[in-house]
Amino acid sequence: MQSEPAEPLVRAGAFSIEERDAVYRAIMTRRDVRNEFLPTPVADDVLRRILLAAHHAPSVGFMQPWNFITVRDEQRRRKVWQAFSRANEEAVALFPEDRQALYRSLKLEGILKAPLGICVTSDPTRGGPVVLGRTHNPRMDSYSTVCAIQNLWLAARTEGLGVGWVSIFHAQDLREILSIPLHVEIVGWLCVGHVDTLYERPELEVKGWRQRLPLEDMIFEETWQGED
């Protein structure tokens, strides 16, 4: 029997304290940026690095279902903003009246303020009709793409870039603006740009929309222990 060619292995030991602290700092200080973007363009080499980080995310069956549509053109971003604005007005009405004023006070202008938009998509056909690991959960390609977004977000934090994830839109509007095929899922629009300040805590927490839940309430042992 022919043996498989040996592949070089890399050390799997713990990072140095400095390296570990840098990773945790990126995680703990990452923020969803909405209104603090600077007009400074994102350099091509920086964009390449954060997209490379995204492309190294884990994906079920190694299908790598993501694509990244980078949008710098102001007129195209304005069309995306208009699509968001229409959907946002619909969203306001879904909240109780006592929450609507607070919702409207949140500044959600990143689409126009950020000099770069990235539409992240997921192609469920990329791995073929049967994908290792997706045989019993057809959403695994979408989940994999979300991992790519998280990688991009953390890499952007280390580069001094802010990222805001926009999900309030009708998918068909973005399909038409960006010529996205019908079978491709639109996972989100990311506003990306330089920032010089970030909220110490998440903005929605600072402004009273929601508070972070205690970690202790999120951890169960052996079986589900929450309310039915």
Edge-to-edge strand ranges of the sheet holding 185-194: 66-71, 116-122, 185-194, 161-166
> Per the confidence metrics, is the pTM higher than 0.75?
yes
Strand ranges inside 115-209, DSSP E: 116-122, 161-166, 185-194
**57: exposed, middle or buried (Cβ count in 10 Å: 0-12, 13-18, 19+):** middle
Please give the class, per CATH, of domain 32-207: alpha beta
3-state secondary structure of 29: helix
Give pLDDT tens digits along the chain (228 positions).
566 667 788 888 999 999 999 999 999 999 999 889 999 999 999 999 999 999 999 999 999 999 999 999 999 999 999 999 999 999 898 999 889 888 888 876 789 999 999 999 999 999 999 999 999 999 999 999 999 999 999 999 999 999 999 999 999 999 999 999 999 999 999 999 999 999 999 988 998 989 999 999 999 999 999 776
Report DSSP letters for 150-161, one per residue. Answer: HHHHHHHHHTTE
pLDDT at 228: 63
pLDDT in tens, 1-39: 566 667 788 888 999 999 999 999 999 999 999 889 999
Report the pLDDT value the prediction gives residue 215, as an integer from 0 to 100.
96
Question: Domain coordinates of the chain in residue numbers?
Answer: 32-207
Nearest to 190 by CA among 87, 79, 38, 69: 69
Query: Element (H or E) spanning 206, and its range?
Result: helix 203-206
Nearest to 124 by CA among 68, 38, 186: 186
Straight-line distance from the first to the last Cα atom of the chain, in angstroms, rounded to the nearest whole number? 54
Cβ 220 vs Cβ 226: under 8 Å: yes
CA dihedral sign, ordered 93, 100, 116, 53: negative
